[in-house]
Structure 1
Amino acid sequence: MKLRLPEERPTEPPTGYKIAHPVLSQDGARAGFTGVSLGGALPYGVLADASCVYGLRHRAPHRRCDCGFHCVHDRTVAEALLCTAEHRTAVLLEVSVLGRYLRFERGFRYARQRVRTATVGPCACGTVAAALADAGWGRPGWRALVPSCAGCLRGRTSLSLAGFARLAGEGLRVVAGSGALLPAGDLGPHSGPGGLGVPELTAEAALLQARLDWFQAQLARLGGHGGGAGPQV
């Protein structure tokens, strides 16, 4: 006799945790994530459906395949993955498990997900991140992004944390490593133009200042080699 586990019918979607790399489309119009292991070549949005990474024509997750989104039950287990060298620049995601899922001892394999919160770690210099900047690698059509402070941007393609949240859409919240909440939508009575609040405006101002400093340094360098002619911009 073949034993089967009881079918679950939760009243609310289960919550899971995973890590991923934030990515920005080549044209700068979309933001999303790419996994760190199986399926890492297939970037996904905040709200996404899984497909079989092996190209098999069955619905994910299939019991006899590894396909589907993966997450763990325990936040601390996912955070521990960020300690490894290859995952230091990844972000921690809190997701809602949607659709069909298979429950395992440590997590889920499932058909659909909504990323609710992305927690961004510190910049490589140790400073709290104010932006997500070009990591120097990516997938076809997508640039990978890494946490960066304003001082370490140095002209790289970047988005503020709030800017990434707005571009990704679907109500995504982005949290800096310090715990400062940077939501995508309206922040209430202290919101500025376009729904930006004090944390977002402060981060945007820091990024603008860092870019201005970088451009001024470049202009000064070019001016020193210009032979009397001013730099052309």
Structure 2
Amino acid sequence: MRLRLPAERPTEPPTGYKIAHPVLSQDGTRAGFTGVSLGGPLPYAVLDDASCVYGLRHRPPARRCDCGFHCVHDRAAAEALLCTAEHRAAVLLEVSVLGAYIRFERGFRYARQRVRTVTAGPCGCGAGAVALADAGWGRPGWRVLAPACAGCLRGRPSVSLAGFARLAGQGLRVVAGAGAPGAPPGPSAGLTSATEPGVPELAAEAALLQARLDWFQSQLARLGDRGAGGAGQG
């Protein structure tokens, strides 16, 4: 006879930690996350249900499958994953484990989650992040973002930390973590979406607006050239 572990019925949803890449939709109206391992091709929202990445018709987390959201119990264990080269630009998520779950020694595999807090690490230069900027890669319909300081935005498509929280919705908090040791401290370290925007955040918003303005101007110029060409051919 196979012994089964007792079913858990917690009074409050368990808390877990994981890392992910923040993403922005192609039209800039929605924000979410994409995983760093098995479910990477399937971006998810702040509040979302898991689906089987193999396309099987069962409800995650199925016992004989790897499907479902994954997280670890210990925050330090999740932060340790950010040390690897391929995950340096990821962010740390604090999540509520919702729905059915399977508990393991180091974490959970579960059916539904709510992302409560996002902690953005330092910019690639080591300074504290004030925005999430285009990382140079993405998924179909989604642009992957990475933490960036005001000095490194350089006109790249970006969104401020508070702006990302607004687009993601569901009461998400976005926090800027400390800069790398030895780097100039970011002026917005500890800034959350609940605080009033400061100079660095407004600078990030201005850079985003400028990038969009440059795009509109290039589109207008392209349409103007096309119109002139059409008149000549007639």
- TMscore range, shorter length: 0.7 to 0.9
| Matched residue, 2:35 | 35
| Matched residue, 2:133 | 133
Does residue 182 (structure 1) correspond to residue 192 (structure 2)? The answer is: yes
How far is 1:208 from its partner?
4.9
TM-score (norm 2): 0.83
Note the alpha carbon deviations across 1:18-66, whole angstroms, 9 max, x for none. Answer: 0000000001010000000011000000000001000000000000000
| Matched residue, 2:217 | none
Task: Report how many residues are paired.
Answer: 203
How far is 1:211 from its partner?
6.7
TM-score (norm 1): 0.83
Tell whether the 8 Å contact from 1:154 to 1:211 is kept in structure 2 after alignment. Answer: no
Structure 1 unaligned spans of 5+: 188-196, 219-233
**Cα 1:10/1:35, change in 2 over 3 Å:** same
Which residue among 203, 206, 210 is the counterpart of 2:203?
206
| Matched residue, 1:24 | 24
Does residue 97 (structure 1) correspond to residue 97 (structure 2)? The answer is: yes
- CA distance in 2 between counterparts of 1:210 and 1:13 reads 39
**Cα 1:160/1:4, change in 2 over 3 Å:** same
How far is 1:136 from its partner?
0.6
Note the alpha carbon deviations across 1:153-210, whole angstroms, 9 max, x for none. Answer: 1111000000000000000000101351412xxx4xxxxxxxxx43x24333222565
- CA distance in 2 between counterparts of 1:213 and 1:17 reads 35
- CA distance in 2 between counterparts of 1:212 and 1:52 reads 38
1:34-183 → structure 2 map (5 Å cutoff): 34-178=34-178, 180-183=190-193
- CA distance in 1 between counterparts of 2:209 and 2:116 reads 33
* Superposition RMSD in Å: 1.9
Q: Which runs of 4+ in 1 moved over 4 A?
A: 208-214
- CA distance in 1 between counterparts of 2:40 and 2:93 reads 15
Q: Which amino acid aligns with 1:92?
A: L
> Identity of aligned pairs, percent?
78
How far is 1:131 from its partner?
0.3
Structure 2 unaligned spans of 5+: 179-188, 215-234
